[in-house]
Structure 1
Amino acid sequence: MFHILNLQIKLTPKIMASHILHLLLLLLSISLANCIQARTLVKHFAHCMSTKHINISKQIHTPNSPSYSTLLQSAQQNLRWINSSKTLKPILIVTPSIAYHVQAAIVCSKIHAVQIRVKSGGHDYEGLSYLCKTPFVIIDLVNLNSITIDLQQETAWVEAGATLGELYYSIAKKSPTLGFPGGLCPSVGVGGHFSGGGFGRGGHGSGRPGRPVPARLSGTGNFPSRLSIGTGPGQVCGFGTLLRKHGLAADNVVDAYFIDVNGNILNRESMGEDLFWAIRGGGGASFGIILAWKIKLVQVPPVVTVFTIHKNLDREGIKTVHKWQHVASKLPDDIFIRIIIQHYDERQTMVDAIFNSLFLGKTSDLLPVVSNYFPGLGLLEKDCTEMSWIESVLYFGGFKRDDAWEVLLARTVQYKSYFKGKSDFVENPMPESALEGIRDRLLEKTSVFLIMDPFGGAMDRVPEDDIPFPHRKGNLFSIQYLVQWRADGDEETRKHVEWIERVYEFMKPHVSRSPRRAYLNYRDLDLGVNVKDNTSYEEAMVWGRKYFKGNLERLAKVKKQVDPGNFFRNEQSIPLLS
C-alpha cells in the first residue's frame, strides 16, 4: 500500500506540500498497464501524473513540447551524448515545483514500468543523470532550488536543484565570514555533488570539465580573464579549496529530506542512520530522490589570499612538482595548493604546471609558511592577492574580480565540449621519471589536463567509514585526468578515449592498488558496469570497491533494505545484498 509520512516539513512551501489524498486518488484511479504501446506511453504517463484535483501540465514536457529540447540539452553537459544514436531520449521530462510532483513521478514510473533519471545539475561524467537504455523519464529538479540560511545556527537548507553557485551566493549575501566546503564549479547541482561526497563536480551522480587555463596569468591583484577549468571551457573544477580545513561537502551535511521508492518523504530521524549514511557519498540515485540537504556552514576569515604560479614542466618544473608531492598534504590546514598540469594549445611546445592556491588568512601570514615548507615554489608577495572568500569563489570559477556576484547564478555552461575523465588516488610520491612520462604523453595531444588536489588536514582526521567516501588518511592527493575535443563522430571519440586509457595505464604503478581506487563523482564506466537488472554483489564488487572500498558492503545492505525491488538503478547503481 502506498503511503507517505505525515511530516511537518518547514523548509519551503515547495516541499511542504505532501498531497497524500491526491496520491491515493492517483493510485486508485489508474489500473496497472502491462502492454502500453510506445506511441501511447507518453499520453498515459502524462495522464497518470495529473488528476482532476491537480493540473501539473506545466511540469510535464513531452517530445512535442517546445521546452523539451531546451531542457534536454541543458541537462547534457557532455556533448558525447547529445546526438548519440546509441541512447534513448526520455519519453518526457518532469520539472517538479513541489514534493508531490516528485512523488507522482515515482508512482507513475512504477505503474508504467519506466526508469527514472534524476537531474540536479546534469554534470555526470558518463551522462547517467539523463541517459538510459530502456524507456525512462527525467526528473529535472531545476525548480526545487530554494536556499534558507539560519545565521544563528550557522546552517542552511538547500533544495537539491540548487547549484553550488547559488549556494555560495546566498551565503555571501547573508554573511562575509561564513562559507561552505563544496566544489569549484558554480553550475554543478548540489543534489549529486553532495550525494557523491562533495568534491569535484556532480549530477544526481557526478561532474564535468571545461575551458583552458591560459599559458600565463598575471597574479598581480586582478583576476585573470580565465583561471580554472571546470564546467565550461574554462574551469578545471576539483575538490573545493576548503577541503583540507573542513573536509568534504558530505562531511558537513546534518540532515536531508528524501523520497523513497514508496513515495515516503523522510528526514534523518525517520530514514534512520544507515540510509542517512548511505546518501552522503554513496550516490543518492541508487536509493531514491533527495529533495533537500541541511548543511553546516563553516567560518571563513574576512580576508583570504590566493595565488597562481606557472612553471614549465621542464627539469626544474618537474623537481618543483615532485617536491609538492611531499609537502602539499603536510601544510597547515589553512593552505590549499593544487596543481593543474595541462597541454591545451598545439602551439605550446611545453607542458604547463600551474600551482593554484587559497590561504585562509593574509599574505603576511602565508609567505613565511610557504617559504618554510616549500621554498622551491618561489612564492613572492607580488604573486598574492587578498580578497574575501566569495571573491575567491569567483577567482577559482574563472571570473573577473569586478564581476557581479550574480554571475554565480548562471545555471548553463557557455561552452560545452566532448570529454572523457578518469581518476586516481596517490599514496606515495611519484618518481621524477613518472612526471617526465606524464609530460611526454600530454605533449602528444591538446586539451588534456591532470588536476592534482592535495589531501591531509581534515581529510586525515575523518575515518574512512564515517561516510561512504573512503579515500582518507594515507592519500597524499587525488588525480583527475581529462581530455576534451570539439568534433563529433565515433573515430574522433575513439582516438581521444584511447589516449586517456594509455595515460591511465602508464600511471598504474604510481597510484593506489588492491584495488586501484577512483572517485564516484568522476564517474568512469570503464571500471565496470552492472549487467542489466540482475547484477550480483560479487559482480558489482569489480567497480564498487574502487569507489567505496569496504563501505560497499554496507551500502549494498542499505540498498536491499530501502529499495528491495531495485527500482532505482543504473549502470553503476549499488547492488543488493541481504
Structure 2
Amino acid sequence: MESSSTSTIISLLVILLSFSLASSDSFQDNFYKCLNSQISVPLSNCFYTPNNPSFTPLLNSSAQNLRCLLPSVPKPELIFTPLTESDVQSAVICSKQLNIQLKVRSGGHDYEGLSYISETGTPFVVVDLSKLRSVSVDIEGNNAWVEAGATVGELYYRIAEKSKIHGYPAGLCSSLGIGGHITGGAYGSMMRKYGLGADNVLDARIIDANGNILDRESMGEDLFWAIRGGGGGSFGIILAWKVKLVPVPETVTVFTVTKTLEQGATKILYKWQQVADKLDEDLFIRVITQTGDGAKKGVRTVSNSYNALFLGGVDRLLQIMAESFPELGLQRKDCVEMSWLESVLYIAGYPSSVPPEILLQGKSTFKNYFKAKSDFVKEPIPESGLEGIWKRFLEEDTPLMIWNPYGGMMSKISESDIPFPHRNGTLFKIQYVTIWGDADKASPGRHVEWIRKLYNYMSTYVSKFPREAYVNYRDLDLGMNKYGSTDFVQASVWGSKYFKNNFNRLVRIKTKVDPDNFFRHEQSIPTLPKEGKQRRRRGRRSHHQG
C-alpha cells in the first residue's frame, strides 16, 4: 500500500485556490464543487445536506448518545460518506483550503458526540467513514487489516470465520467503530491477558493535515505512537489499522453472578477490589452496579453483577475461584462453556438465541440519553465508602456503574509505551453513567447534577494528582477548547487526566505534524504557541513587570 502521489495533491490545491478566490457561493456549494472536481462517483451517493431526506437518518445512524441529537444541538452543514481513501483525501484538502472545520466519525460512540456535533457553534462538515469497513484477515501472518468504519464486532466475526483459536483484545460493545476505538486505547475482556487493542497494533494508514496518506514507515514512530491511545480527532484521519491477532482457546467460559445488598453485596465487592487485579490473567471479572426491586415489594435495592470471561474450561475456572475469590460462591451451574466468538455476544449483552451474524449489522444496542464520567482506583474503597455510593444510587432513577479490573498484562506494559497511561498500580477503572428517557430529554439537569455530585463524592477514593480519566469516555465537564482554538495551559487540565505525563509528548507531536491545528475539536490535543506569539507574550509580561 503506497502513499498517493504529490501531483494529485498539487492539482487539487490549484483548483481549490481558484474556488477560494473567486467563489461567493454557499458553504455547501463550495464544498460540493471542490469534491465534484476530484471524485469519480456521483456525489449524490455520498453527499448529504440538511435538505436531503437521508441526512437525519444518516446523522442518527451510529450516534449512541441521544442527548447529542436534540434539536438544540448544532448539526453539521453536511455529511460526506467517502467510498475510497482518495475520497477522504479530497475531503481533507477541500476542508483545509476552504477553511471549513472537519469532524470525522467512524462509529459514533464518543460520549459527548464530538465527532458529529459542535459545542462551540462553529460550522463544520462530518466525514462519516461507515462505508469504509473492509476486513482482511491473515491467519498465517497472525494479523488483520481493518478499515476505520468497520465495527469491532465485524472484526471479531471475520477473525472467527477464519479460525477458532484466534481473537483480538478490543471493546466489549460490538458496535464500536474500530477507527476511533483504538485511538483511545480500546480495552476489553482480554485486556488482563493481552493488554489493550492499541497495544496490539502493527501498522496504520492515516491521512495527515496536508492530505497525505501515510503508513507506519512514512509517518514515523512519533506519530505512530500518538495515534495509538492519544485520542481521536487530533492527528489525522485513521483509514485502517493493521492489528495483531492473539491466541484464544477453542473453549472459553463465561458467567454472571448477581448479589444484592441483602445478599452481602458490600462485603463481596470489598473483597473483589482486593483480588480482581491479582487473579489469573486468563480471568476477567467486571462488576456492573444497578438498582432494582429488593426482597420487599416496592423497596429498591442495589445489585452488583459479576460478569466474567475466562480463557479456559469450567474446571480450571472453578479451581481458581475457590482459591482466590470463594466469597462470590461461584458454582458450576453459573458457568457456560462456549467459543470465543459466542463469548463476544455474551459479554455484549445479546441473548443466547441471537446468531453471531448480528455482529455484521454493526448497530448499537445501546441508544439512550446519558451522561458518563470515569475514574481510576489505586486502593480498595472501604465498606463505608461503598455504602455512601449505594445511598446515592438509590436517589437516582437509572444509575449505572461498571468496574473493570486491571492487573495482568496491564501492569507489565510501561505507562509511556503508548499514550494510554493507566497501568501499573491501577486496581480497576470505574465508569459512571446516568440514563434518562424522553420525559426528561429537554431538561436533564437533575440527572447531570446527580452524576456530578457522585463524582465529587468519589474524589476521596480515586486517583489523585492528577485525578485520572479515560479519553474514550469523553467528559466535557473536565474542560474544553475555546471557539476555534486550543490553548496549551487550558487543555493541560483535562490532558493530564487523560494522558498523565504523556500529554506533553502528544502536544509536541501535534505541533510538529499539524502546526496549524487543522484537526481540532472541543478536547483535541493543542499545539504549542508559535514563536512569534510566544515572544509577544513574553514582551507583554516584561512590560507589565517593568
Q: TM-score, normalised by structure 1?
A: 0.87
CA positional deviation for 1:32: 5.1
Structure 1 match to 2:186: 198
Which is worse superposed, 414-423 or 379-388?
A: 414-423
Contact conserved, 2:55 with 2:79, CA < 8 A, in 1?
yes
Which is worse superposed, 304-313 or 481-490?
A: 481-490
CA distance, structure 2, for counterparts of residue 190 and residue 125 of structure 1: 15
Structure 2 match to 1:73: 60
Structure 2 match to 1:327: 275
CA positional deviation for 1:488: 5.6
Match of 1:94 among 74, 77, 80: 80
Structure 2 match to 1:394: 345
Structure 1 match to 2:541: none
Q: Secondary structure at the match of 2:280?
A: coil
Q: Secondary structure at the match of 1:453?
A: strand
Whichever residue aligns with residue 400 of structure 2, its letter is F
CA distance, structure 2, for counterparts of residue 125 and residue 443 of structure 1: 24
Match of 1:113 among 64, 87, 99: 99
CA positional deviation for 1:244: 0.3
Structure 1 match to 2:479: 528
Structure 1 match to 2:240: 292
CA distance, structure 1, for counterparts of residue 220 and residue 258 of structure 2: 48
Match of 1:176 among 146, 153, 164: 164
Asked if 1:492 is matched to 2:480, the reply is: no
Asked if 1:256 is matched to 2:244, the reply is: no
Asked if 1:518 is matched to 2:469, the reply is: yes
Structure 1 match to 2:2: 8
Structure 2 match to 1:474: 425
CA distance, structure 2, for counterparts of residue 368 and residue 59 of structure 1: 55
CA distance, structure 1, for counterparts of residue 59 and residue 39 of structure 2: 29
Q: Secondary structure at the match of 2:486?
A: coil
Which is worse superposed, 409-418 or 330-339?
A: 409-418
Structure 1 match to 2:140: 152
CA distance, structure 2, for counterparts of residue 340 and residue 53 of structure 1: 48
CA distance, structure 1, for counterparts of residue 454 and residue 446 of structure 2: 13
CA distance, structure 2, for counterparts of residue 367 and residue 51 of structure 1: 64
Match of 1:279 among 212, 227, 232: 227
CA distance, structure 2, for counterparts of residue 536 and residue 399 of structure 1: 43
Instruction: Check 1:23–1:294 CA distance in 2 against 1; reply closer, same or farther (3 A cut).
Output: same
Match of 1:266 among 194, 202, 214: 214
CA distance, structure 1, for counterparts of residue 178 and residue 371 of structure 2: 22
- Deviation digits for residues 346-373 of structure 1, max 9, x if unmatched? 9562111101111111111111111111
Contact conserved, 2:174 with 2:364, CA < 8 A, in 1?
no
CA distance, structure 2, for counterparts of residue 374 and residue 320 of structure 1: 9
Structure 1 match to 2:265: 317
- Deviation digits for residues 377-416 of structure 1, max 9, x if unmatched? 1111111111110010111112222322111122233552
CA positional deviation for 1:62: 1.8
Q: Secondary structure at the match of 1:351?
A: strand
Which residues of structure 1 form unaligned runs of 5+? 1-6, 10-17, 200-239
CA distance, structure 2, for counterparts of residue 554 and residue 488 of structure 1: 45
Whichever residue aligns with residue 198 of structure 2, its letter is A
Structure 2 match to 1:505: 456
CA distance, structure 1, for counterparts of residue 501 and residue 293 of structure 2: 42
Contact conserved, 1:344 with 1:447, CA < 8 A, in 2?
no
CA positional deviation for 1:91: 1.4
CA distance, structure 2, for counterparts of residue 512 and residue 157 of structure 1: 36
CA positional deviation for 1:54: 2.4
CA distance, structure 1, for counterparts of residue 370 and residue 78 of structure 2: 26
Match of 1:140 among 119, 128, 131: 128
Match of 2:37 among 42, 48, 51: 51
Match of 1:64 among 51, 60, 73: 51
Q: Secondary structure at the match of 1:434?
A: helix
Whichever residue aligns with residue 62 of structure 1, its letter is T
Contact conserved, 1:516 with 1:546, CA < 8 A, in 2?
yes
Q: Secondary structure at the match of 1:512?
A: coil
Asked if 1:124 is matched to 2:72, the reply is: no
Compare the two structures and name the one with the higher helix fraction: 2
- Deviation digits for residues 192-249 of structure 1, max 9, x if unmatched? 10001112xxxxxxxxxxxxxxxxxxxxxxxxxxxxxxxxxxxxxxxx1101000000
CA positional deviation for 1:113: 1.4
Contact conserved, 1:34 with 1:112, CA < 8 A, in 2?
no
Q: Secondary structure at the match of 2:287?
A: strand
Which residues of structure 2 form unaligned runs of 5+? 530-546
Instruction: Check 1:437–1:117 CA distance in 2 against 1; reply closer, same or farther (3 A cut).
Output: same
CA distance, structure 2, for counterparts of residue 135 and residue 430 of structure 1: 45
CA distance, structure 2, for counterparts of residue 473 and residue 384 of structure 1: 30
Which is worse superposed, 98-107 or 21-30?
A: 21-30
How many residues align structurally? 522
Instruction: Check 1:244–1:402 CA distance in 2 against 1; reply closer, same or farther (3 A cut).
Output: same
Structure 2 match to 1:202: none
Structure 1 match to 2:69: 82
Instruction: Check 1:516–1:540 CA distance in 2 against 1; reply closer, same or farther (3 A cut).
Output: same
Map of 1:201-280 to 2, 5 A cutoff? 240-280=188-228
Q: Secondary structure at the match of 2:290?
A: strand
Structure 1 match to 2:536: none
Contact conserved, 2:62 with 2:363, CA < 8 A, in 1?
no
CA distance, structure 2, for counterparts of residue 457 and residue 414 of structure 1: 30
RMSD: 1.8
Q: TM-score, normalised by structure 2?
A: 0.92
CA distance, structure 1, for counterparts of residue 365 and residue 477 of structure 2: 28
Contact conserved, 1:345 with 1:447, CA < 8 A, in 2?
no
Q: Secondary structure at the match of 1:361?
A: coil
CA positional deviation for 1:98: 0.7
CA positional deviation for 1:65: 2.1
Asked if 1:40 is matched to 2:26, the reply is: yes
CA distance, structure 2, for counterparts of residue 357 and residue 69 of structure 1: 38
Structure 2 match to 1:14: none
Instruction: Check 1:557–1:52 CA distance in 2 against 1; reply closer, same or farther (3 A cut).
Output: closer
Structure 2 match to 1:188: 176
Asked if 1:553 is matched to 2:504, the reply is: yes
Instruction: Check 1:488–1:465 CA distance in 2 against 1; reply closer, same or farther (3 A cut).
Output: farther
Whichever residue aligns with residue 125 of structure 1, its letter is Y
Contact conserved, 2:67 with 2:441, CA < 8 A, in 1?
no
Instruction: Check 1:53–1:364 CA distance in 2 against 1; reply closer, same or farther (3 A cut).
Output: closer
CA distance, structure 2, for counterparts of residue 344 and residue 162 of structure 1: 36
CA positional deviation for 1:20: 5.8
Instruction: Check 1:488–1:407 CA distance in 2 against 1; reply closer, same or farther (3 A cut).
Output: same
Contact conserved, 2:132 with 2:147, CA < 8 A, in 1?
yes
Among all aligned residue pairs of Structure 1 and Structure 2, give the percentage whose two residues are the same amino acid: 52
